[in-house]
């Protein structure tokens, strides 16, 4: 990797985020290197890692996203707010564009300090876009059989650049998400695995939720899951197009914008510390 490189440890309403700045040089991280950095004893102990690369084709920055198991991720809403916090500290611009595997995402300053809005683009609902393993009649009501396990169902499925399955429940704490989350994440109906969410619609302007995050496990917050859940609730006419979403780590405001169906996520990004990581961490990586 060459010389040591800047890293920012942050969190987005409890979602542990590491931002590694590779804009001055350095090859893209490999999955094995990302896994080393995730280790709490040798590395950063993150849920997602956001690797920054020089911008291109009109984007201010290119962002590669990794889960804590080293696998690449298409989207991370909480991580993008942390990226926004790093980048807006360098500029007076009101708007920045990040290129990700999920497409170009627009970041703007929020209504309060350390608050940012990320345009996550449109949600997608086609079975092949999520993706599911086979066509279904209605992706808002997908049966996900799991043997004798007591499950809520059916699931509402959507993609926010990554796959999501939302189960509507009366009590988000009544199910052992740590037990059946990994079973559902890896269910054959989800060929690229899935983020698994339990959601309760408290009223037309408020949703409470918990998520088992693909590649990261039980998490205090998942921004893309909050987006998928809010849009699914609006499609099912359980809420309006703007809702507050409460996660274990804090609250987000999600707007499913009517004029173009883009999903806008607003929330905080909290800076913890800045450091540099030693490339010697990768000495034993094959």
Please state which of the four CATH numbers 3.10.310.10, 3.20.20.70, 3.40.430.10, 3.30.70.20 is assigned to the domain occupying 5-121+269-282: 3.10.310.10
pLDDT band at 214 (very low <50, low <70, confident <90, very high): very high
Question: What is the reported pLDDT for 244?
Answer: 98
Question: What is the reported pLDDT for 102?
Answer: 86
Do the two domains 5-121+269-282 and 155-260 of this chain adopt the same fold? Answer: yes
0.85 cut: is pTM over it? Answer: yes
Whole-number percent of the chain with pLDDT over 70? 94
Domain borders along the chain are: 5-121+269-282, 155-260
Q: What SS3 state is found at 157? A: strand
Q: Return contacts of 180-187, CB within 8 angstroms, 24+ apart.
A: 180/146, 180/149, 180/151, 181/212, 181/217, 181/218, 182/212, 182/217, 183/146, 183/149, 184/144, 184/146, 184/212, 185/212, 185/214, 187/144, 187/146
Instruction: Give the Å distances, CA to CA, from 131 to 28, 111, 236.
Output: 27, 35, 20
The pLDDT of residue 1 is above 60: no
Question: What is the reported pLDDT for 148?
Answer: 63
Is 234 within 8 Å of 241 (Cβ atoms)?
Answer: yes
Q: For residue 272, give both structure tokens.
A: 């913890």
Look up 222 and say whether it is catalytic. yes
The residue from 82, 157, 222, 227 that is catalytic is 222
Could you tell me how many residues make up the chain?
286
Look up 227 and say whether it is catalytic. no
pLDDT band at 25 (very low <50, low <70, confident <90, very high): confident
CATH of domain 155-260: 3.10.310.10
Output the CA torsion sign for 49, 52, 53, 55.
Answer: positive
Is 116 within 8 Å of 85 (Cβ atoms)?
Answer: yes
What average pLDDT score do residues 199-207 get?
98
Q: For residue 47, give both structure tokens.
A: 């849920």
pLDDT per position as a tens digit, 38-69: 776 556 788 899 999 999 999 999 999 998 88
Strands (E) across the chain are located at 5-12, 15-21, 48-54, 61-67, 72-73, 95-100, 103-109, 115-122, 155-159, 163-168, 195-203, 206-213, 217-219, 242-247, 250-256, 262-268, 270-277
The pLDDT of residue 2 is above 60: no
The pLDDT of residue 197 is above 90: yes
Is 156 within 8 Å of 236 (Cβ atoms)?
Answer: yes
Is 285 within 8 Å of 33 (Cβ atoms)?
Answer: yes
The pLDDT of residue 162 is above 60: yes
What average pLDDT score do residues 206-225 get?
94
pLDDT band at 149 (very low <50, low <70, confident <90, very high): low
What average pLDDT score do residues 118-145 get?
96
The residue from 76, 82, 157, 227 that is catalytic is 76
Question: What is the reported pLDDT for 30?
Answer: 84
CA atoms of 45 and 231, how far apart (whole Å): 31
């Amino acid at each position: 990797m060459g010389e040591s490189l800047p890293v920012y440890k942050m969190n987005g309403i409890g979602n542990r985020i590491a931002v590694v700045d590779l804009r001055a040089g350095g090859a893209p991280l490999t999955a094995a290197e990302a896994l080393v950095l995730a280790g709490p004893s040798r590395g950063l102990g993150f849920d997602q890692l956001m690797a920054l690369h020089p911008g291109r084709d009109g984007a201010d920055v290119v962002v590669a996203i990794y889960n804590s198991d080293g696998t690449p991720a298409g989207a991370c809403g909480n991580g993008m707010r942390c990226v926004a916090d790093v980048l807006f500290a360098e500029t007076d611009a009101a708007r920045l564009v990040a290129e990700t595997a999920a497409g170009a995402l627009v970041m703007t300053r929020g209504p309060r300090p350390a608050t940012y809005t990320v345009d996550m683009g449109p949600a997608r609902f086609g079975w092949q876009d999520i993706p599911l393993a086979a066509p279904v009649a209605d992706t808002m009501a997908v049966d996900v059989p799991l043997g004798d396990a007591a499950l809520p169902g059916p699931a509402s499925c959507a993609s926010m650049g990554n796959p999501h399955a939302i189960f509507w429940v009366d009590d988000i704490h009544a199910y052992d998400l740590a037990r059946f989350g990994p079973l559902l994440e890896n269910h054959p109906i989800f060929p690229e695995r899935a983020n698994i969410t339990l959601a309760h619609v408290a009223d037309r302007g408020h949703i409470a939720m918990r998520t088992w995050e693909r590649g990261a496990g039980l998490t205090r917050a998942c921004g893309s899951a909050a987006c998928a859940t809010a849009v699914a609730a609006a499609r099912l006419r359980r809420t309006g197009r703007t809702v507050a979403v409460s996660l274990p780590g804090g609250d987000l405001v999600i707007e499913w914008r009517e004029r173009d169906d883009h999903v806008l996520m607003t929330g905080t990004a909290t800076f913890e510390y800045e450091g540099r990581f030693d490339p010697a961490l990768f000495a034993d990586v094959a």
